[in-house]
Amino acid sequence: MTVGRYVSDLETGDVLEPVAYTMTPFVVREYCHGTGEYDESFHGPNANDTEPQRVPPTLVHIDKIRLLNRNCPDGPGPDARIHYQYHAIHHRPVPIGERLIAAGTVVNRYEKRGREYLDLEFELRLEATGELLTTYRDTALLGYSRNGAST
Amino acid sequence: MTSRPPIDVGDALSEPTRIMTRERMRWYCDALETAAAATGEFVIAGPTIHSDDEFARANGLPGIIADGMISTNWISGMLYRAFGEQYLASGELQTKFIRPVYEDERIETHGRVVSRELTDQGARYVLDVWCQTSNEEKCTVGQARVLMPVDTASG
């Protein structure tokens, strides 16, 4: 199912097709190398193997990318999308090695000061039980140069 | 991450100053695409406003700018180092990207505890968090909340 060819096609009320995946140690390590997160607890279990590798909660932002890639396969649209706001609520730590399911909806698409914004809301749950792990709200500008003055 | 200094209202948090190099911007793009693909293979991202000057200029920018999630992650790491597992289990982080971060700018990461309220579930900390340039121009601003069990919460 494709909700929109491009992200710029999305409208208020659109429901994105969920994406299921397994959070792997590799993905967490790669993400942490990419962000410069140096705490060893994000790179593997502790020395005695009594504490599992941790998952940075910011990885929920990748669920947005997964869902947009699935639902809008041709990309952002005529202009690059610019991230404006991140808001994550952590309900419990995200586990490594379990199947997760990410779902998302378009909460609002609106214009403000000549620029167009897109508000998306996401939920990340354990696939097996439906237990809520993270809720995430994301605001992006749909374009920059065409919709307002540059800063 | 088992022993942490007490945290109280007015306390300041910070991370080492980092330079927003071109490489850091590109590494994040590759990490994002690698994580999103989740194939187990490393992915090199295509051109973006964070990695390709020409692409950025075509989108109205003077050159590449950093993805806001880089500074958000620096703030998130700071909160993990202050609050540990509880930040992962019951934290909340809101950030807004109010100024682009350009190549080679020196970025400081800060937080300050603005309130601590006792609730039935524990002590709820509220923090202002932000990243700023060496000229003290804020680029990422926001708030964080963390619920700490009373027996481990300080103050």
The residue type of B20 is M
Average pLDDT, rounded, for chain B: 93
Confidence label for B5 from pLDDT (cuts 50, 70 and 90) = low
Considering CB atoms only, which of B32, B59, B70 is closest to A65? B32
Q: Is the CB of residue B68 less than 8 Å away from at least one CB of chain A?
A: yes
| Cβ contact, residue pair A91, B90, below 8 Å | yes
- Band (pLDDT 50/70/90 cuts) for residue B155 is very low
Please state the CATH superfamily assignment of the domain spanning residues A7-23+55-142 in this structure: Hotdog Thioesterase (3.10.129.10)
Q: Has residue B27 got a pLDDT over 50?
A: yes
- Count Cβ–Cβ pairs < 8 Å, chain A vs chain B: 137
- The tokens describing A36, both together, are 């410069």
Closest Cα in chain A to B49 = A80
Mean pLDDT is lowest, of A80-84, A119-123, B137-141, for A80-84
Contact B144, B129 (CB under 8 A): yes
Alpha helices in chain A (DSSP H): 25-35, 60-71
Residues A83/B72, Cβ–Cβ less than 8 Å: no
- The verdict on a CB contact (< 8 Å) between B93 and A84 is no
- HSE-CB of B55 using CA atoms within 13 angstroms: 13
Residue percentage of chain B with pLDDT more than 70:
94
Digit-coded pLDDT (tens) for B104-123: 999 999 999 999 999 999 99
- pLDDT at A144 (0 to 100): 67
Residue A4 is predicted with a pLDDT of: 72
**Do the chains contact at A82 and B77, CB–CB below 8 Å?**
no
Q: Which of A25, A3, A34 is closest to A104 using CA atoms?
A: A3
Instruction: Please indicate if any CB of chain B lies within 8 Å of the CB of A6.
Output: no
Kindly list the domain boundaries of chain A, sorted by start residue: 7-23+55-142
On whether the CB atoms of residues A128 and A98 are closer than 8 A, the answer is yes
Residues 6+ apart with CB under 8 A from B98: B138, B139, B140, B141
Asked if the Cβ–Cβ distance from B91 to A93 is below 8 Å, we say no
Question: Above 80 in pLDDT, residue A149?
Answer: no
Assign A32 a pLDDT band (cuts: 50, 70, 90): very high
* Fold observed for domain B12-148: Thiol Ester Dehydrase; Chain A (3.10.129)
The answer to whether the beta carbons of residues A109 and A116 sit under 8 Å apart is yes
Q: What is the pTM of this model?
A: 0.93
Whether chain A has a CB inside 8 Å of the CB on B46: the answer is no
Distance from CA of B48 to the nearest CA of A (A): 8
B3's tokens: 């022993």
A-facing residues of B in 14-33 (CB < 8 A) are 18, 24, 27-33
Q: Is the dihedral of CA B51, B40, B38, B131 positive or negative?
A: negative
Asked if pLDDT for residue A146 goes beyond 50, the answer is no
DSSP string covering B30-86: HHHHHHHH-SSS-------TTT-HHHHHHTT-SS-B--HHHHHHHHHHHHHHHHTHH
Q: Which residues of A touch B20 (CB under 8 A)?
A: none
A13 to chain B, closest Cα gap in Å: 23
Could you tell me the residue ranges of all domains in chain B? 12-148
What ipTM, to 2 d.p.?
A: 0.92
pLDDT tens-digit series, residues B28-83: 999 999 999 988 899 999 999 999 999 999 988 999 999 999 999 999 999 999 99
Report which of A87, A93, A91, A118 is spatially closest to residue A105, judged by C-alpha positions: A118
pLDDT for res A78: 77
Nearest to B67 among A59, A83, A144 (CB): A83
pLDDT over 80 at A148, yes or no: no
Residues 33-72 of A with CB under 8 A from B: 33-39, 41, 54-59, 61-62, 65-66, 69
